[in-house]
Homo-oligomer: A and B are copies of this chain.
Amino acid sequence: MSNKSAAPVLGRRQWLSSSAGTLAVLGLGTSAPVLRAQTPPASTAKTLPAYAAWKDSNAMLIHSSATIETKRQAFGAGLITPAEQLYVRNNLGAPAASILDDRDAWEVSIEGVKNPRRISLRELKTLGVETTPMVLQCSGNGRGFFPNKPSGTPWLVGAAGCVVWTGVPVRVVVEALGGVLRGHEFMTGTGGEVLPEGLDPKSIVVERSVPAKAMGDALLAWEMNGVPIPLAHGGPLRLVVPGYQGVNQIKYVKRLAFTEQESDAKIMAHGYRISPPGSKADPSQPSVLEMNVKSWINSPLPERAGAAGQVQIQGVAFSGLHAIKRVEVSVDGGKSWKEARLVGPDLGKYAWRQFVLAAKLQAGTHTLASRATDMAGNVQPEQRLENVGGYNNNSWADHAVTVTLA
């Protein structure tokens, strides 16, 4: 999908544009959450919005009040991304902060199980506890590298982070409620954002379906990085589906339903589809679900290339449902590769691994690239898979960096 296309309901951003257009017709003010998604990127919105004002503004690229990414040079080698540096991508505006006043009173409706009912966070906390480090990534991460400039936020590498979630395993909740009904093969989460009245809720609600098998490692989470989940990241309760792209990690989750069909909400049926170039988004096209194998280099970068001589080339690597097996690094733009060393403890298959390769580099210009392979044998490709929405970019060529050493 190009910016020039006027065809309706094609991709993620046009989906929002369409909704926002409807809102404008209804005379809703500019503070209406969906309008935020139309805010032009970076150049016109440079300050952090109130709900994310606690972020480290020096570490962030602010595209809009609902789309804020981590600067590539802000990524350290610490395994876990500090909350104040973690990207934000809200499909709708966050609910009022008052929903955090009594976190334990938050309720989620569990449906499609033998004994469906509403259950409070207070009760969820008595059922079980698990802690899972996980890469959280917007499916549009890397869209900024698409040369044809797909509509949507031109994320580079920083719409991603590795964070630690704590909550109750979904399977424990399901067992407590008698198990999933037969034939209900999707797990559908619905966000608790307040929807403007007068619109078809299906056109705007954040509701996503994943295969029910994903419940194996999914959590209903109340902590991120050891503290109650901030509003900007979905507190008081978020559905966390390890290995899946960010849009499936439902914030302010108010309903968790096992369903026979995928949701027919617009964000599921027409949004976040891998649409071949020139096509319109369609429910028959692949949805944005599991993440793919990916890596990138965070040091050195053009902004801090340093001196010629020995250089420690560092970055991160992850995949979707499989752990990282190895990472190779090239210092000649991909002509030759050397295996990098994985650094620090392994936080499990859903976390990213840090990698490092020590290399002796002469003064001059070098193109550095990294290429990850996961345990299932998936190799990070040289080229992106072209698609209208600019999703799932894991091209190693796109993520290469060119540095000049003094």
Contacts and interface: CB of A to CB of B under 8 A. Distances in A.
Interface residues of A, number: 46
A345 B131 CA distance: 8
Interface string A342-370: 01111110010010101000000000000
A54 to B, nearest CB: 9
A92 interface: no
Interface stretch (A207-215, A221-229, A242-250): A221-229
A165 to B, nearest CB: 8
A85 interface: yes
Contacts of A343: 129-131
Given A164-B79, A225-B80, A345-B346, A312 B131 contact: no
A77 interface: yes
A126 B310 contact: yes
A79 B127 contact: no
A271 B366 CA distance: 52
A230 to B, nearest CB: 11
Given A122-B306, A306-B122, A346-B345, A312 B223 contact: no
Chain A contact residues: helix, strand, loop or mixed: mixed
A223 B76 contact: yes
B78 A227 contact: yes
A49 interface: no
A405 to B, nearest CB: 11
B79 A82 contact: no
B312 A125 contact: yes
Interface string A76-106: 1111111111000000000000000000000
Contacts of A224: 78
A106 B306 CA distance: 16
A286 interface: no
A227 B344 CA distance: 15
Contacts of A74: 227
Contacts of A223: 76-78
A195 interface: no
B345 A226 contact: no
A259 interface: no
B128 A358 contact: yes
B225 A166 contact: no
A75 interface: yes
Interface string A130-154: 1111000000000000000000000
Nearest to A84: B84
Given A122-B306, A125-B312, A306-B122, A76 B227 contact: yes
A302 interface: no
A309 interface: yes
Interface of A: 74-85, 122, 125-133, 164, 166, 223-228, 306, 309-312, 314, 343-348, 351, 354, 356, 358
The 10 A-B pairs of least Cβ separation, nearest first, read A78-B226, A131-B344, A76-B226, A77-B166, A78-B164, A126-B310, A345-B348, A76-B223, A345-B347, A129-B356
